[in-house]
Structure 1
């Protein structure tokens, strides 16, 4: 913990002083504490959780095939939580049982929070429009079936040419990364390169994103070039015997 405070007095004459403030640094070895706020239990393993961009909601997917969207406490309710707080059941605002035919492995919101995507070991992706005010799905969801293995991760990015949403997805099977136009729910590009299951995807804006794989490589992609622009091979983990640790 770091606390910054400094005060000094300036004397202007007999009996007259003014007080001004600046900063100094006081170091403490007190560690930050993480206090559990809510606790949600499912009949089976929970595989995915993701906050909505507004910070008021979060989505949860599990092996029970159930999709939930819960509210997160804010304001005074959150400030009142102290050490020793007993986690309570969150308020579930949206719940859909059997959302997929298999376990929900991953989920993602787009940056504006009006699109939600889920991926499953049933080899499909569900793409939905979501109204955060009503906490409900809008219209008919799209089901994407281009993957031939478990969908392990998803992320949204913006198409720089027209400002529309693109969905990036990857997983097992053919180990390809698929790019989908969310407006038409149509996959239009498949990127090859990984030789193992794709376990993670991340984008930081623009046309760039990165993927991590069971083949122990990290690949950087640029949609403007339609290919991998950089490759990093992860070193074996300490104590690893075979040196084939996946990048997650």
Structure 2
């Protein structure tokens, strides 16, 4: 058993996040809403601006995932049937200084683009590349679409300057997740066929990419990784910290088989460096690495969050004298077994600006929680529930993501078809 099975404060004892604004594709701007019931404690944590990309009707397409642009001024969301598409929302810039909004959470947002035609079925995952002008989307139709933006003259409408420039095929069935590495030179995909694919990108602005936007972005599959025995639900890159192979990054994959795998590169070949199986008793829906790469967080259908620490190869030999190999060690150093009342669908680690050790999670209990590290050590961290939004969506919360530059802002996507932006204050 991990050293600190840690149940956190009851939801009644922490601030309740509140929705401040609603966005609909039929409107050009956010409509401010009644802020509702104030926070039940610590009023300064009141927060949340909420965005909705679709009116909350039973016919609305589920919102599966959200992704912030690197500068945080745009937000992409992907949706399922009956209207499979990618929507891109943008903050309207101030005419005076060109900044996006005034930080109050209700500054105008517009639906800048709707990307259709790249997929024939539900779009399950979307991710901005580090360059900011490229998106990858994954679909139940078994393909990954690459979208490039060529018109940078402000906010457009309809297709808004975005064009599908590549279609990546190879998965045998539904593709569940896409993730870029830190430079945009690699793209990872995973799916129902139990495999993980790694693609090398030659897009403009990436390592090895062509100069200028040629519009014929090329990708090459450099690895197809097998090892999971069930659907692969989530993938995420992280720094290797010099502990895994000879590459700069490792790749994590979370699966229906209740495990997480760590994949590393050595002499150009990718291999399974570790299988993490000690923390969860059911499907691992989501995995996320903290900024420095030394900590990993996972969320599972068993209602729990698990916190993992990376130990160096030297520490591993001290902890496991009989172990072989030169790789480091991933070890579960903490669990929150009652993180949600039902399955945890999404986890995300905060940027440094939100403060060390904050984890956002969303689940099938329609709730968003923020957990904060409150004590212990890196070997035995202790967490407490710091903020919560019960009924955040009218249905499962499928995704939560911290803003890349502002540690007081979160976004979420739900089965109700809505995308929401929340303000959180520590």
Residue 177 (structure 2) aligns with: 106
Q: CA offsets per residue over residues 78-103 of structure 1, 9 Å max, x none?
A: x243xxx4445831111134x20011
Residue 197 (structure 1) aligns with: 283
* Superposition deviation, residue 208 in structure 1: 1.1
More strand by share: 1
Structure-1 separation of matches of 2:249 and 2:344: 29
Unaligned ranges ≥5, structure 1 = 5-25, 237-242
Residue 306 (structure 2) aligns with: 219
Structure-2 separation of matches of 1:72 and 1:117: 21
Which fold has the larger relative contact order, with Cα–Cα distance below 8 Å and residues 6 or more apart in sequence? Answer: 2
- Pair 1:53 & 2:130 matched: yes
Counterparts of 1:1-248 in structure 2, within 5 Å, are 31-41=107-117, 42-73=119-150, 75-76=152-153, 79-81=154-156, 85-87=157-159, 90-97=162-169, 99-133=170-204, 134=210, 135-138=217-220, 140-161=221-242, 164-173=248-257, 175-182=258-265, 183-192=268-277, 193-203=279-289, 204-224=291-311, 225-236=329-340, 243-248=341-346
**Structure 1 residue matching 2:112: 3-state secondary structure:** coil
Cα RMSD after superposing both structures: 2.6
Q: CA offsets per residue over residues 159-186 of structure 1, 9 Å max, x none?
A: 112662100111102x111001134210
Deviating runs (4+, > 4 A) in structure 1?
A: 26-31
Unaligned ranges ≥5, structure 2 = 1-31, 33-93, 95-101, 205-209, 211-216, 312-328, 347-426
Structure-1 separation of matches of 2:105 and 2:141: 43
Q: Considering only CA atoms, is the larger Rg found in Structure 1 or Structure 2? A: 1
Structure-2 separation of matches of 1:109 and 1:215: 28
**Structure 2 residue matching 1:75: 3-state secondary structure:** coil
After TM superposition, the score normalised by the length of structure 2 is 0.46
Structure-1 separation of matches of 2:272 and 2:263: 4
Q: CA offsets per residue over residues 57-83 of structure 1, 9 Å max, x none?
A: 01111011111111135531xx243xx
Kindly indicate whether the alpha-carbon contact (under 8 Å) linking 2:304 and 2:339 is maintained by their aligned counterparts in 1.
no
After TM superposition, the score normalised by the length of structure 1 is 0.76
Structure-1 separation of matches of 2:105 and 2:299: 35
**Structure 2 residue matching 1:201: 3-state secondary structure:** strand
**Structure 2 residue matching 1:92: 3-state secondary structure:** strand
* Superposition deviation, residue 53 in structure 1: 0.6
